[in-house]
Amino acid sequence: MAAVKTDISMNFQTKMYINGEWIDADGGGTLDVINPADESTIAKVAYGGRAEADRAIEAATKAFPKWSALTAYDRAKVLKKTADLMRERADRMARTLTLEQGKPLPEAKAEVLHAADTFEWFAEEGKRAYGQIIPQSNAMKRHHAIKHPVGVVGTITPWNFPITLPSRKIAPALAVGCTVVSRPAEQTPLVLIQLFECLQEAGAPPGVANLVLSSAVPFADSLFAHAAVRKISFTGSTPVGKELIRRSADGVKRLSLELGGHAPLIVFPDADVEQVAQAAVIGKFRNNGQVCIAPSRFYVHEKIAGRFTETAVEMTRKLKIGNGLEDGVQVGPMFEERALAKTASLIDDAKNKGAKILLGGERSKRFDKGYFFEPTVIREVDGAMRIMTEEPFAPVMPLIDFSKLEDVIAAANNTPFGLAAYVFTNDLTVATRMAEGLEAGIIGINDPVPATPQCPFGGMKESGMGRELGHEGLEAYLETKYVSIGLRAF
Ligand code: NAP
């Protein structure tokens, strides 16, 4: 396979952004950013720790009174301009994203544009942070409930959607008047740095939005240590989410948690098998299955299981794997070497317990370098296998037959996760019963890509707390202040 020329002279900004200035780490520390497609180092970014996080929080605390006192209309101008700049720079930002994360360029561009849409949507929705006038039961009183920004917000996000996920936090927080201290995952800082360049150029005042590049725990320590940080918004794994719940008790810090998932995709016999198989393959192998809402358990009605399996295997076989910068590539590398090891161990476990590998099942032998795994389809899967109980986050499609609606609802719900679920049917009654019976915060009925800025996104059970996007995603950064006014006799 010919090596793809990756332009490493992109002249990345590599510093962190604190109080309106681009700075190096105090001790001069740096961290290599690795291209998962060829294992080369594409940049060295500043890499600090607790001291930089403390300074960012102090800057955000100082900036809060002025920023929160602006009108929502003035704050919206900054957010809208940020969205415009992201759209103007979408090609460059997408290329950066592909270089550091690996996903194919068209997916990277769609991600950047989705993040821009999120900024624009919250710019507008911030103008609708309405309170309430509540009818009084005492003629000499008036009751109002008004909305107030929570304060300084800390955000922590993973590498799989390095610009979309922070945008779902930063945009609503800034829209309502909060100030923000953000930290990207270590593997993918560059595209988020470019978003902060847009925020700066769009006129976000110093201290309003800060970006810290550091290891995770000192950053979290700093958020928990400062009373001014009133909220932490986290996207990541369920175990780290649970740790944050425990740690937030002392300071009673508000939390929004977007955690792991294990989404069922359920196909009823009246569905169009070819169309659904295509949607299933695209949904499964997008970003190598490293998507929190990716379908990861495929329940197919026994009447169509044979045809569905054949079609899905054929479509998967045809997927073009390679460097995400190359034309036509549909599946890039996984994000790290350890992701390959975890995927292989899930497959070995399933194989040892009786699963049949129909396609793939191992690290790709087609590449000398890079973290490529062959897209994999397996059958004869049962509930005792780790792939059915642990969040796989991997390019593996496990196929399971079912016959009865009640049984498939029970099987789909038999997990601590409850993030997303997908149903394919043309029967309105079946669709309604499934939507009502499935325990998931996001349900796509004949829709494999339900996420959009104006609709609520988040999980039930151990998949999270709270919602992002939609009006609920704005409420997540607001307190309700009840004001009761006693009148004098007139
Ligand atoms: P992770 O280990 O929980 O890491 C997520 C982020 O938290 C990273 O920035 C990580 O930093 C940081 N972190 C790790 N340990 C921490 C700690 N003790 N205190 C504070 N921060 C800490 O998750 P991951 O495996 O990288 O990411 C994939 C997970 O995210 C999956 O479970 C996926 O389902 C979930 N996810 C959920 C959604 C959703 O919307 N529900 C969306 C996307 C992903 P470093 O990695 O830089 O060290």
Same structural domain for residues 251 and 269?
no
CATH number (domain holding residue 343): 3.40.309.10
Q: How many helices and strands (H and E) does the chain possess?
A: 15, 22
The catalytic site residues sit at 258, 292
Asked if 177 contacts 35 with a C-beta cutoff of 8 angstroms, the reply is no
10 assigned to some structural domain: no
Q: How far, rounded to the nearest angstrom, does the alpha carbon of residue 412 sit from its chain's CA centroid?
A: 22
Q: Are 469 and 353 contained in the same domain?
A: no
Q: Are 339 and 247 members of one domain? A: no
Question: Which residues span the domain enclosing 310?
Answer: 263-453
In this structure, the answer to whether residues 42 and 95 fall within a common structural domain is yes
Domain count for the chain, please give it. Answer: 2
Residue of 32, 235, 287 with the most ligand 1 atoms within 8 Å of its CB, for mutation: 235
How much distance in Å is there from the Cα of 255 to the middle of ligand 1? 15
Is there a single domain that holds both residue 348 and residue 437? yes
Q: Are 197 and 90 in contact (CB under 8 A)?
A: no
Q: Assess if residue 2 is contained within a domain.
A: no
The predicted-structure confidence for 407-442, as pLDDT tens digits, reads as follows 999 999 999 999 999 999 999 999 999 999 999 999
Estimate the share of the chain in helix, then strand, then coil, as percent rounded to the nearest 5.
40, 25, 35
Atom of ligand 1 nearest to the CA of 186: 47
Q: Residue 432 falls within a domain, yes or no?
A: yes
Do 375 and 468 share a domain, yes or no? no
Q: What is the pLDDT of residue 7?
A: 52
Name residues contacting ligand 1 (CB within 6 A): 156-161, 165, 185-186, 216-217, 220, 235-237, 240, 243, 258-261, 292, 391, 393, 419, 459, 464
| Calpha distance 489→309 (Å, rounded) | 78
Ligand 1 centroid to Cα of residue 157, in Å, is 6
Do 165 and 28 have their domain in common?
A: yes
Same domain as 373, residue 349: yes
Nearest-CA residue for ligand 1 atom 17 is 217
Residue 228 sits in a domain of what CATH number? 3.40.605.10
**101 and 221 housed in the same domain:** yes
* Bridge partners for 146 per DSSP: 481
320 and 183 in a common domain: no
247 plus 304 within the same structural domain: no
- Is 216 a domain residue? yes
Q: Rounded to the nearest whole angstrom, what is the distance from the C-alpha of residue 458 to the centroid of ligand 1?
A: 15
Q: What is the pLDDT along the chain (490 residues), one digit of tens a residue?
A: 444 555 545 789 999 999 999 999 999 999 999 999 999 999 999 999 999 999 999 999 999 999 999 999 999 999 999 999 999 999 999 999 999 999 999 999 999 999 999 999 999 999 999 999 999 999 999 999 999 999 999 999 999 999 999 999 999 999 999 999 999 999 999 999 999 999 999 999 999 999 999 999 999 999 999 999 999 999 999 999 999 999 999 999 999 999 999 999 999 999 999 999 999 999 999 999 999 999 999 999 999 999 999 999 999 999 999 999 999 999 999 999 999 999 999 999 999 999 999 999 999 999 999 999 999 999 999 999 999 999 999 999 999 999 999 999 999 999 999 999 999 999 999 999 999 999 999 999 999 999 999 999 999 999 999 999 999 999 999 999 999 999 999 8
Q: Are residues 184 and 301 in the same domain?
A: no
Tell me which residue of 337, 333, 338, 312 sits closest to 323, measured CA to CA: 333
Nearest to 178 by CA among 247, 217, 228, 110: 228
Q: How far does CA 103 lie from the centroid of its chain?
A: 14
CA atoms within 13 A on the CB side of 367: 22
DSSP 103-137: --HHHHHHHHHHHHHHHHHHHHHGGG---EEE--S
Q: For 297-332, write each residue's pLDDT tens digit.
A: 999 999 999 999 999 999 999 999 999 999 999 999
Check residue 302 and report its DSSP letter.
T
Per-residue model confidence (pLDDT) at position 91: 98
In a domain, 362, yes or no: yes
Confirm whether 11 is domain-assigned. Answer: no
Can you tell me the distance from the alpha carbon of 282 to that of 51, in angstroms, rounded to the nearest whole number?
44
pTM: 0.97
- In this structure, is residue 326 part of a structural domain? yes
Give the residue, by CA position, lying nearest to ligand 1 atom 39: 258
Mutation test residue for ligand 1: of 217, 237, 288, 334, the one with most atoms within 8 Å of CB: 237
488 in a structural domain: no
- Residue in the structure block whose two tokens are 């006693």: 486
